[in-house]
Amino acid sequence: MNLDLQVCSRARLSRDPRFDGKFFIGVVGSRVYCRPICPAPTAKEKNCRYFATAAAAAEAGFRPCLRCRPECSPGTPAWLGTSNTVSRALRLIAESGLEDGGVEVLAERLGVGSRHLRRLFLRHLGATPIAVAQTRRLHFAKKLIDETALPMSQIALASGFGSVRRFNAGIRKVYHRTPTQIRRLARNTVTQPGNQYLFRLHFRPPYHWQGMLDFLAARATPGVEAVESGIYRRTISLHGRAGYFEVSLDDSRDALLVRIEFADPKSLFFIVERIRAMFDLNADWTAIVSSLRTDPAIAARAELDPGLRVPGCWDGFELAIRAILGQQITVKGATALAGRIASTYGKAFKGPSGLTHLFPSAEILAEAKLATVGVTSARAETIRSLARAVCSGRISFEGVVDSDTFLARLREIPGIGQWTAQYVAMRALGEPDAFPSSDLGLLRALALATPRELEQRVQSCRPWRAYAAMYLWKIASHSDTRLARSSRESHKPKVAGSTLDHSVSLAV
Ligand SMILES: [Zn+2]
């Protein structure tokens, strides 16, 4: 854990939002810890202690500030490059907390000893795995108290405290107030209709919201997803229940406004974490752009459109199906096919404007006759094989610990090659360095002929090549709009060394 104290100090004194969530400040006298953007009067430097994570501040005996609400800060940036084990562990904790078996089980899943895991956590995050999990749980409970009207008994369960008694005790110990007293302090008192929850999820600026929206809009599966008047919305299903969420930008607060309608509040933590991943809210632009600047073409685009994120997905299986459909055809063509699959095989859903279906499950697609909706027989077989592998448990998109093993298994399926695997790694696993180098849009953006040349060219953008890909697609789309559109449909890929597995990828 290497915090540059001078940088921290400058960021704190200027309340620089780009550093929000990258470190926390413990104030010695008040024993409170704050975000760098805290509106409270700044403490004297000699009274400040700096921590890389909220959990580290908590372990050192500091309480979360009630004004700047550390539970609202953007997440810890990706730790890739410092420790793969830590970033994998953080991903698993984000997916399921530490409820099922604690540190021992977590360490076992990661293939390391629990003492080693503890040491790694202390070195990189300044806190033990238990402290990290407990801080996340406490922060989420605090968010539910402040931002929802859920009864406290439900919050206790939704945030993983197990019992109301433990929840009350946990909150009192940290905040010196009861949950009810904390709720009275909260400014947000607007009650949402039943089963609806409104959250503000913060990011570190800049965030290129329009770029995110354009990307999702071009690929929105009709009936399952819709983009309208600056709002992205989609249907979701989880543990046999259905619902939807919508996301829009709250520019003035460096946050996304998320409205979730779902009948089971116990799933809220999971849903919120998935939305955070889908909209890439943990990204640390300052770190990313310093790598992107090493390439002149990407640097120029990043200068014009700062803050582009890598769009994730709601469901890895659904995204993989989309990727298979997108092999060798335009984004528009693949989107139309996905819509037909959803309306033919998906469950009907009564949602707001544009939402009519849930995306079909693996069980349904394993048996689906996809030729009837216009999918070629080879691709239909690939989809069925993937669906069968998911049904049998051979492939699971949840709790992926080792991306390389996961992607190798994915590539065992006939019709899934390097392009599809890298695209899935980029958008479903959130691998910041994934890069589908055989993509025609990417090659065209830099006027290169082979994936190998492209890989050499973006070498300097590591470990952030997924972001480089987003900028290259943007470059390609800008030149596409200038080029004759007529070549689009008749375009035949002629990429040396490419297989059937790549995309024409005419991104927006
Ligand atoms: Zn504060």
Q: What is the length of the chain?
A: 508
Q: How far apart are CA 267 and CA 443, in angstroms?
A: 41
240, amino acid identity: G
Collapsing DSSP to helix, strand or coil, 128 comes out as coil
Whether 34 sits among the annotated catalytic residues: the reply is yes
Q: What residues does the ion ligand 1 have nearby, CB within 5 Å? A: 34, 38, 65, 67-68
Burial class (CB in 10 A: 0-12, 13-18, 19+), 55: buried
User: Cα of 167 to ligand 1 centre, how many Å?
Assistant: 23
**Is residue 423 within 8 Å of residue 411, measured between CB atoms?**
no
Ligand 1 midpoint to CA 394 (Å): 47
**58 CB-contact burial (10 Å; exposed 0-12 / middle 13-18 / buried 19+):** buried
Task: Quote the tokens at residue 253.
Answer: 């607060």
For 187, other C-beta atoms within 10 Å of its C-beta total: 6
- Residue given tokens 């200038």 in the structure block: 482
Output the CA 388–ligand 1 centroid distance in Å.
Answer: 50
Burial 344-383 (b: 16+ CB within 10 A, else e): ebbeebebeebbbbbbbbbeebbebebeebebeeebbebb
Separation of alpha carbons 343 and 358, rounded Å: 9
499: left (phi over 0), alpha (psi -120 to 50) or beta: beta
Q: C-alpha angle with apex 150: 146 to 153, nearest 5 degrees?
A: 110
- List the catalytic residue out of 8, 34, 68, 461: 34
Q: How far is the CA of 66 from the centre of ligand 1 (A)?
A: 6
Ramachandran class of 447: left when φ > 0, alpha when ψ lies in -120 to 50, beta otherwise:
left
Distance CA 203, CA 278 (A): 13
Question: pLDDT truncated to tens, each residue of the chain (508 aa)?
Answer: 568 889 999 999 999 998 999 899 999 999 999 999 999 998 999 999 999 899 999 999 999 999 999 999 987 775 544 677 888 888 888 777 666 668 888 899 888 999 999 999 998 889 999 999 889 889 999 999 999 989 999 999 888 888 899 999 999 999 999 999 999 987 655 667 778 999 999 999 999 999 999 999 999 999 999 999 999 999 999 999 999 999 999 989 999 999 999 999 889 988 999 999 999 998 999 989 999 999 999 999 999 999 999 999 999 999 999 999 999 888 999 999 999 999 999 999 999 989 999 999 999 999 999 999 999 999 999 999 999 999 999 999 988 888 889 999 999 999 999 999 999 999 999 899 999 999 999 999 999 999 999 999 999 999 899 999 999 999 998 876 665 444 443 344 444 333 446 666 544 3
Residue of 439, 461, 480, 501 with catalytic role: 439
The predicted model scores a pTM of 0.90
Token pair belonging to 415: 């019709």
Q: How far is the CA of 390 from the centre of ligand 1 (A)?
A: 45
* Active site (annotated) includes residue 264: no
pLDDT of residue 189: 58
CA of 182 to the centre of ligand 1 (A): 15
CA 67–ligand 1 middle distance (angstroms): 5
Query: What is the 33 CA–ligand 1 centroid distance (Å)?
Result: 6
CA of 28 to the centre of ligand 1 (A): 13
Ligand 1: distance of its center to the CA of 40 in Å? 6
Å from CA of 73 to ligand 1 middle: 11
**Residue 97 has what pLDDT?**
66
The reported pLDDT for the residue numbered 501 is 65
- Those residues whose C-beta lies under 8 Å from the C-beta of residue 427, and which sit 6 or more positions away, are 310, 311, 312, 313, 319, 323
Q: Ligand 1 mean position to 262 CA, how many Å?
A: 32
- Cα 75 to ligand 1 centroid, rounded to whole Å: 16
Q: 469, exposed or middle or buried, with CB in 10 Å at 0-12, 13-18, 19+? A: buried
* Confidence at residue 233, expressed as pLDDT on a 0 to 100 scale: 98
Contacts of 102 (CB under 8 A, 6+ apart): 130
Q: How far is the CA of 42 from the centre of ligand 1 (A)?
A: 9
Between CA 133 and CA 378 the distance in angstroms is 45
Give the residues across from 223 on adjacent strands: 355
- In sequence order, the β-bridge partners of residue 196 are 261
Peptide bond into 463 cis (omega under 30): yes
Q: What is the Å distance from ligand 1's center to 89 Cα?
A: 28
106 C-alpha to center of ligand 1: Å?
32
pLDDT at site 195: 85
Nearest to 313 by CA among 423, 204, 203, 399: 423
DSSP secondary structure of 312-377: --S-HHHHHHHHHHTBTS-HHHHHHHHHHHHHHHSPB---STTB-BPPPPHHHHTT--GGGGT--H
